[in-house]
Amino acid sequence: MTAYFDEMNGKGSGVRAPYARLQDWVGAMPVDLRTLKQAEAETLFRRIGITFAVYGEGGDPDRLIPFDMFPRVFSGAEWARLEKGIKQRARALNAFLVDVYGRGEIVRAGRIPARLVYQNAAYEKACVGFVPPKGVYSHIVGIDIVRTGPDEFFVLEDNCRTPSGVSYMLENREIMMRMFPELFRENRIEPVDSYPEKLRRTLASVAPAKCKGEPVVVILTPGHFNSAYYEHSFLADLMGVELVEGQDLFVEGEYVYMRTTEGPKRVDVIYRRIDDAYIDPLCFRPDSMLGIPGLMDVYRSGGVSICSAPGAGVADDKAVYTFVPEMVRFYLGEEPLLNNVPTWQCGKADDLKYVLDNLAELVVKEVHGSGGYGMLVGPKATKAQVEAFRLKIEDDPGNYIAQPTLALSTVPSFVAEGVAPRHVDLRPYCLVGERIELVPGGLTRVALTEGSLVVNSSQGGGVKDTWVLAE
């Protein structure tokens, strides 16, 4: 069989237990029914309006992310282990953030280089000395996880700012339940639909001390041209909170208000889906049209909470990533339950030499890159591409990290020829407020092109429903 671990078939060792019933299901499904169901799913997505808008590239501005109906399944035991590891990591990342904007003990102890923290572009000097309510900087931590074997899980990267995609986790489930109710009778699948309620509770739990009574929570969106606008409005709707743009908010005195038809209404918690640089033109980019002038002053004087807190990005940097296991040990006194992928820092001379010598075998990423752009997948690249990338690394080594090309696990997927294994990753959404919570599930992204390891939707990736079976 293949060199890859398939989550349904192992390495050719027979169907693994969590997938037992799915094998019967897929075996009994005639091709024409599958085609019909696929079309039905697409219609549902389009009707509900779950599209991600891509403007300025021509073509259909409302694109669908391909939805693969073959679910991805975790046993209860597998999930229990992942859950512990994810929560541990989310806790450590938040402890790190509070520390580096405070005394910086981890730097003083020599466990992470000062340069990586304090000279990091994502380090916000405006936040030094400020502790957000409940000591939480990152309220929604999206931790991207890949698997290479039955018990081998690795963290690919952390997203401490505003990880997106949770609407797909919810909608994929909704659509699967609508189309295949029998699957949900035969398998005992943990529900994920409590996520919006948990998110609302998490956000309300970090309301500033000045807030009396029930906190007013809003979602701040860059606007309807943003590719994730659907998700913003979807979450606002499910949480029953207002979806605001920067122009809807203004600062007066020590508080932030929204403009309503009945006059100004005070806002206590802002779940912002715009970057730090844009939230306050007086504090950050002066040319930002998206932000609210004066917001940071109100924030620092405890008049409003911002989620994620400005400055949280310093923890999810790809160079800082290497040190997350150290954070777990340093702050929690525990051994990390989830491993990092071994990573070479091109900024270090020894590492750089190794990377350049083995470029064709490695995955190289920009430290601040995202979305699968600006990366090299050595084994999949042509000689010319590798050489071109070599020049870029030599030009600015500190801007790159490298990792071994992982043998990402596969999950059976519906493709043109029938059912075939495709590589997947997982993004669970860990909520951090007064409590740390994780709904049993997440977003499984799948690289639908045969052999491809890039799961990003901007690069031809699709999504799957992710099941956690009840024990």
Partner 1 sequence: MLSRTADNLYWIARYMERADTSARLLEVGSRISLMPSAHGYRSEWDSLLQASGMAEGFARKYGDPVQRNLESWLFFDRDNPSSVASCLTAARENGRIVRTALTAQVWDALNSAFQELRVLERRERSSLELSELTDWVMQKAAMVRGAIDATLLRNDGYNFLNIGYYLERADNTARLMDVKYYVLLPRVEFVGSGLDNYQWTTLLRAMGAQRAFHWAYGGEVTAAKIAEFLILNPQCPRSLTTCVAGIANHLGRLAKAYGRETGAQGRARAMLADLESESVERIFDEGLHEYLSRFIGDAAGLGGAIHEVYLSGETR
Binding site for partner 1 (CB under 8 A): 47, 49, 224, 229, 233, 236-237, 242-245, 247-248, 258-264
Indicate the residue among 195 and 257 with the shorter CB distance to partner 1: 257
Tokens representing residue 238 in the block: 């499910």
Given the structure tokens 């929570």, which residue do they identify? 217
Residue 411: half-sphere exposure toward Cβ, Cα within 13 Å: 27
Tokens representing residue 293 in the block: 């002038």
57-62: list long-range contacts, CB under 8 Å, 24+ apart.
none
Indicate the residue among 245 and 366 with the shorter CB distance to partner 1: 245
Indicate the residue among 227 and 405 with the shorter CB distance to partner 1: 227
| Residue at 127: amino acid letter | C
Tell the smallest beta-carbon distance from residue 200 to partner 1 (Å): 14
| Contact of 256 with 266, CB cutoff 8 Å | yes
Indicate the residue among 105 and 242 with the shorter CB distance to partner 1: 242
Count of residues in the chain = 471
Tell the smallest beta-carbon distance from residue 232 to partner 1 (Å): 10
Indicate the residue among 105 and 248 with the shorter CB distance to partner 1: 248
| Beta pairing class for 269-272 and 305-307 | parallel
Tell the smallest beta-carbon distance from residue 164 to partner 1 (Å): 17
Tell the smallest beta-carbon distance from residue 156 to partner 1 (Å): 33
| Contact of 90 with 432, CB cutoff 8 Å | yes
Indicate the residue among 254 and 450 with the shorter CB distance to partner 1: 254
Distance CA 70, CA 77 (A): 21
Indicate the residue among 237 and 387 with the shorter CB distance to partner 1: 237
Tell the smallest beta-carbon distance from residue 471 to partner 1 (Å): 37
Tell the smallest beta-carbon distance from residue 44 to partner 1 (Å): 12
Distance CA 64, CA 54 (A): 10
Indicate the residue among 130 and 229 with the shorter CB distance to partner 1: 229
Tell the smallest beta-carbon distance from residue 62 to partner 1 (Å): 9
Tell the smallest beta-carbon distance from residue 259 to partner 1 (Å): 3
Tell the smallest beta-carbon distance from residue 264 to partner 1 (Å): 7
Tell the smallest beta-carbon distance from residue 168 to partner 1 (Å): 17
Indicate the residue among 17 and 48 with the shorter CB distance to partner 1: 48
Residue 370 phi, psi dihedral angles, 5° rounding:
-155, 170
Is 357 exposed, middle or buried (CB count within 10 Å of its CB: 0-12, 13-18, 19+)? exposed
Distance CA 122, CA 437 (A): 26
Indicate the residue among 194 and 260 with the shorter CB distance to partner 1: 260
Tell the smallest beta-carbon distance from residue 256 to partner 1 (Å): 14
Indicate the residue among 119 and 261 with the shorter CB distance to partner 1: 261
Tell the smallest beta-carbon distance from residue 295 to partner 1 (Å): 17
| Contact of 238 with 59, CB cutoff 8 Å | no
| Residue at 366: amino acid letter | E
Residues facing 412 on adjacent strands? 421
Indicate the residue among 243 and 363 with the shorter CB distance to partner 1: 243
Q: Is the dihedral of CA 249, 250, 255, 260 positive or negative?
A: negative
